[in-house]
Chains A and B, each alone.
Chain A
Amino acid sequence: MTASAPPAAPSATAGVSSVVLRSGVYADSVRLMQVSRDVAARDGVTAVLVAMATPLNLELAANMGLAPDGEISPEQLLIGVRAEDDAALAAALAAVDAALAERERSTGTATAVPQRTIGAGLDELGPDTPALAIVSVPGQFAVAEAADAIAAGRSVLVFSDGVPVEHEVALKRAAHDAGVLVMGPDCGTAIVSGVALGFANVVRPGPVGLVAASGTGAQQVSCLLDMAGVGVSHVLGVGGRDLKEEVGGLATLDALAALDADPATERVLVVSKPPAPSVAEAVQAAAHELSVPVRFGVLSPETPDLTAAVEALLGDMGIDVPTWPSRPGPADPAVPGAALKGLFAGGTLADEAMLLASPVLGDIRSNIPLRPELDLGTDLSAPGHVVVDFGDDALTVGRAHPMIDPTLRLEAIDALARSGEPAVLLLDVVLGHGADPDPAGALVPALTAARATTSLPVVIALVGTEADPQGWSRQADALAAAGAHVFASNAAATRYALDLLGAVA
């Protein structure tokens, strides 16, 4: 398709005009008449003829002062436009191109062929529709689907785990170049413009944007903010590895920039498990350059407490820190010298508990240990202080996440009670979209049975909001009735467990 003739000489009619012949383009007359009519209706356009260069149409063109020069054949497409000024003319010519290139998006046929790929699915949406791709296919195939979204100029949430880190880096680099965001891989929590994706709570809209390399961390923070009357604009998950050395915070940096430009976001909180120090430093330096204030709720031995990060943010905003909701359980006597048994569904909550408890209790063995030598291996019923993350990939192979399927954790509670080892049981229960519709329904019988067997104090961090489908108070009341001490803050729950152990934090 080449422009085969230069613009015609200015005609006697006022304004500016362009007359071009194109070869190799054929469109039926009805379509071309539609294009002519639509472009002629634009402001500043005074005459339009888009038609095949047949003798009849050339006569029409001559009458309109839009006759082409040079060699003409009827197979050519004549595009003649006159407008009041150069800007209107350029816009009209662009509109002609767009109209000729436009395609029908609905064929109205009875044979719907399903889209097989994210690329084909996105292709069906209009280009101006804000859209997000969600990929939860097996990890080894997630890359191609995510790459489709990036190529289409769309952000993508990758729920899949098992994506090699070098693929993650390549995707995030490509996304950065394309001006979009890769959330994940292994990203289970996000809220975008009020739409909850994956495991997310029903929280009020508001001015705080979250960037989260930790799903349950983001849930804890957004729920506490909600309880303090503060809403979130967006929760952008970036995947648990984003702040590791290999990935270098690629998505965190892009998410921060996006929230900086978002008019709905007035403050930003970055939530993460322990990051690589060099990456944390680089991200903090980048955050310093933004106009939006950024606070970090990044777990580390020095800053072990997400609740404290929320409280500091509330302080920044001049908002009083509320008394975080709790339900006192029965007056369990302290059991000095007993073991802490933390059985968690959320990895970040488990991390937070270990970071808070270790300075007091000493070493805690875990399947996600603070130091490699504390690795629990496969012996979940090991004696002594133990924290287990049931959401760890190794424990979710072939089964749903413990926030949906409580079986393994219920078995561990039963085994603990039977072992007779003096202990304080620390649990998290996470509410919200995607989670068990009634976690207390499964836990209450297990806790009742355990406490009938042995004197086992139970402390629960209940992460959720009143607006969640499960309802924070309903779940808290049910759990408390079964003898548990329930806290909205995981840090508060952990400290209470330490108190019961007779340890002084």
Chain B
Amino acid sequence: MTLGGLLSGPPSIVAAGVGVFSDALRAQGTDVHDVDWRPPGFGDPADLAALALDPRRNSANRVAVERILAAGSQLVDVRPAREVIGLQDRTLLHSGPPLTWETASGPMRGALIGACLFEGWADDVEDAERILAAGEITLDPCHHHRTVGPMAGVTSPSMWMWCLSDPVHGGQAFCNLNEGLGKVLRMGAFNAEVQTRLAWMRDVLGPILSEAVRGSIDAGNDPLDVKAVLAQMLQMGDEGHNRNRAGSLMTLRELSPAIVATKAASSDIAAVLKFIGGNEHFFLNLGMPTAKLAMDAARGVPGSSMVTVMSRNGTEFGIQTAGTGDRWFTGPANTPVGLFLGDYGPEDANPDIGDSAIMETYGVGGFSMAAAPAIVRFVGGTVPDALATTERMYQVTLAENPAMAIPIMGFRGSPTGIDVLKVARTGWLPQINTGMAGRIAGTGQVGAGLVQPPQECFEQALAALAEEARIP
């Protein structure tokens, strides 16, 4: 149809700018929709224009989004990090963009200390601090190893990893096992309770899960479709980041028969089932690599202004985009706002930490807040706030993921694929739901709440993408 049917009848009008046009049109009885346009939240106007006019942008973003939507996620194995990602002795992975011991925050230091003790690289806390400060332990971001880790994300060679595979693109992603809530390594705790639990996970939980997952597949069963579990969670009141209750129960349901069928002692099996059943965030460590598989599939699309990574290390927030490869764009991490456990208060909270913002990067978590009305009061809002948050995120994303339908939004798909250009133009930064770790190493979790990335990350990404767009 010529000009999109423009000349076939009186058109509806969508207008941005001065109101006099719209008033005159309304007086003629025309259907007019005024956009609530504002000057961009940030960005050099020339950069915004260069990106808006980049002829590669629309098709590149379409390719990137299609890869996200197409990506699948199957649980194919459970193996120690040493085996599956070749993690060497004296190497630790952490969440977020690169950091050093000197720049590491309290909970990150606590988790690194705890991991050195767990691996037997240090005899006591002082010893661990000494070898870490001396640079004897190599630190590397999880994201550099197709891995994600919640909160501190500290992953050591002996830790067991969920091994997920994308049957569509052939990608792999990994994540350690969730320890539960409270005093846990990922929140920066490293005491005897933490060490005891990590040892049990290494010696009992990991081997049993490994045998169960492999055994089930060897027996001819399909691997667990983790993406399908995530999709169903959104229909059951979870948003997949701060609330994983339904997903954890479904995972327990799916894994239980195979766990029971292992050759482990019945007391160990009972302990494993009890551990999983008692941990409402057990699924998070499966959801995160599912999102990671999809976002990794969208890496390396020249011209795409879509965000592939949002991640925090407790000191800095870092993002990457499909159009700029492995480059990090970082800024100081904000401190979440929310509710606190027990006597803890805002002064106890560490700045934002964890790779779990991969969930929002994928379009769930804070982006699908409307799916989890049960959580919004916990994170300091009303149900209408939750709906408004998701509505806003639709305007900073490129697509709706039909596999991740949000019931209360009329089964609209989750807002998926953050566009740096749209973030700049609307001035709306991504909304992230998150846990909060204590500032002091060893504290553990102090609360949960909401947080946004620092604008600097997106400013840098916009400038870099515009520079790419100008290269002929």
Contacts and interface: CB of A to CB of B under 8 A. Distances in A.
A73 B24 contact: no
Chain A CB within 10 A, most for which of B30, B403, B425: B425
A147 B53 contact: yes
Contact of A23 (B24, B225, B400): B225
Interface stretch (A36-44, A167-175, A283-291, A442-450): A167-175
Given A159-B21, A192-B11, A130 B5 contact: yes
B29 to A, nearest CB: 9
A171 B53 CA distance: 7
Interface in B392-409: 392, 394-395, 400, 402-403, 405, 407-409
A194 B48 CA distance: 35
A172 to B, nearest CB: 11
A323 interface: no
Interface string A85-117: 000000000000000110110111111011111
B395 A28 contact: no
Interface in B28-58: 28, 30, 33, 35-40, 45-46, 48-49, 52-53, 55, 58
Interface in B57-81: 58, 69-70, 72
Given A140-B49, A179-B3, A434 B24 contact: yes
A110 B231 contact: no
B8 A130 contact: yes
Interface stretch (B207-215, B354-362, B383-391, B438-446): B383-391
Contacts of B24: 196, 198, 433-434
B261 interface: no
Nearest to B224: A75
Chain B CB within 10 A, most for which of A110, A181, A192, A434: A192
B402 A197 contact: no
A134 B13 contact: yes
B426 A117 contact: yes
A131 to B, nearest CB: 5
Contacts of B391: 107, 109, 111, 113
A103 B395 CA distance: 16
Given A28-B235, A116-B395, A130-B8, A141 B13 contact: no
B38 A116 contact: yes
Contacts of B70: 1-2
A342 B446 CA distance: 76
Given A113-B391, A125-B14, A137 B37 contact: yes
Interface in A194-251: 194-198, 233-234
Contacts of B22: 134
Contact of B16 (A73, A136, A170, A194): A136
Given A136-B17, A144-B425, A434-B24, A130 B9 contact: yes
B192 interface: no
Contacts of A198: 21, 24
Which bracket fits the contact residues of B?
A: 35 or more
Nearest to A149: B14
Contacts of A25: 402-403
A132 interface: yes
Given A107-B409, A117-B395, A144 B228 contact: no
A27 interface: yes
Contacts of B394: 120
A138 B248 CA distance: 51
A319 interface: no
B323 to A, nearest CB: 16
Given A107-B410, A121-B16, A137-B16, A180 B4 contact: yes
Given A115-B36, A145-B16, A145-B37, A170 B53 contact: yes
Interface residues of A, number: 85
B25 A118 contact: no
B131 to A, nearest CB: 45
B395 to A, nearest CB: 5
A122 interface: yes
A309 B388 CA distance: 56
B251 to A, nearest CB: 13
Given A26-B232, A117-B37, A132 B16 contact: no
A104 B428 CA distance: 24
Contacts of A193: 6-11
Given A1-B70, A193-B9, 10 more contacts: A28-B235, A103-B411, A106-B410, A111-B387, A113-B392, A121-B15, A154-B4, A193-B10, A194-B10, A262-B2
Interface of B: 2-18, 20-22, 24-25, 27-28, 30, 33, 35-40, 45-46, 48-49, 52-53, 55, 58, 69-70, 72, 167-168, 222, 225, 227-228, 231-232, 235, 384-385, 387-388, 391-392, 394-395, 400, 402-403, 405, 407-413, 421-422, 425-428
Interface of A: 1-2, 23-28, 31, 71, 73, 75, 100-101, 103-104, 106-111, 113-122, 124-125, 128-138, 140-141, 143-145, 147, 149, 151, 153-155, 159-160, 164, 167, 170-171, 174, 179-181, 192-198, 233-234, 254, 257-259, 261-262, 264-265, 433-434
13 contacts: A75-B228, A103-B411, A111-B385, A113-B392, A113-B395, A115-B395, A125-B12, A130-B12, A132-B11, A154-B6, A180-B3, A195-B11, A198-B21
